[in-house]
Copies of this chain bind each other. A is one copy, B any other.
Amino acid sequence: MNINRQWLLAKRPDGLVTQDNFEYSETAIPEAGDGEVLVRNLYLSFDPTQRGWMVDRESYLPPVEIGAPMRAGSVGQVEVSNHPDFKLGDIVQTTGNWQDFVVAAPGQGPMGLSKLPEGVTPEMMLSVLGITGLTAYFGLLDLGMPKAGETVLVSGAAGATGSVAGQIARIKGCRVVGIAGGQQKCDWLLNEAGFDAVIDYKSQDVDAQIKATCPDRFDVFFDNVGGDILEAALNHMNLKARIVLCGGISGYNATAPIPGPVNLMNLVTQRARMEGFIVLDYMPRAAEAVNDLLGWIASGELKYQIDLQSGFENIPDTLQRLFTGQNLGKQLLKIADPR
């Protein structure tokens, strides 16, 4: 294979992302310069935040340019190394983007370049030990500050981030209630992830069910969804509740601005806090999180689910799975096996 297959951003989305937003292309394999490494992507990470990168507006990362390969986290294998810390065949994580090959170097790009620790699989690195796992860890613990005995509510609870956030809360001694869509996800949360209660937003009245499942109200809400679910949650805060704004997937594909919750002033009467964060700010503390997460995986306290698709041609469709709720756990796509 002497070509570099790519999916380029062809046009910015209006509403749900479709195949039309991307264009297939083939280019020459890039060359690694001094201090750089050529990586062949094996696994791509799919994350709701990618939807935001497709829009031309100021955010925590610059938008992907039209005609550039779509930005994505990846795990790959070193094909050429001009850097003393990396050798041929090393399995690494980086910002590989939607293409076969990327030139990378430590400290460059949003996720830099680093070798996978001993015993860590690409699936683990791109999920529970990766951006989504670290998002759950730092968001829940640093912003949510859950204390044993408190009630923690999680939306998008069966997702890659929500499921880890809820389980960490359980490990910390909290009562955990998850909101997810569909019986299969709810069953997994109850039976595998050890949530104390679940709410199926597709078949249940979320407001009434938060009230029913949180008789003492909630102390922490880890929110991945926003919209109506955030509004419902704002009716059931305990005094001094902390709402961790992780994301708002319900609004990511909106074609017009979506009004916020009508009951925001409940934050005043409940002396409550709503706070946003971006996990990239916590990268200097990543080792702390990985250490804890690995321990909980080893002890069996922390479960994770991978939704693994395959095939370079299926990359654009796989992104759409996130926004239709099809994915069960962390959405990945495998491009190739390691050599």
Residues on A facing B (Cβ under 8 Å): 58-60, 226, 230-231, 245-248, 251, 257-278, 281
Contact = CB atoms under 8 A, between A and B. Distances in A.
User: What is the total number of copies of this protein in its complex?
Assistant: 2
A277 B271 CA distance: 4
Contact of A59 (B264, B269, B276, B277): B269
B261 A271 contact: no
Contacts of A248: 264-265, 268
A275 B281 CA distance: 21
Given A260-B261, A265-B248, A275 B276 contact: no
Given A273-B274, A274-B273, A274-B275, A260 B264 contact: yes
A247 to B, nearest CB: 7
Contact of A273 (B60, B261, B271, B273): B273
A24 to B, nearest CB: 30
12 contacts: A245-B264, A246-B268, A251-B265, A257-B263, A260-B264, A264-B264, A265-B276, A266-B276, A267-B275, A271-B275, A271-B278, A275-B275
A187 B72 CA distance: 52
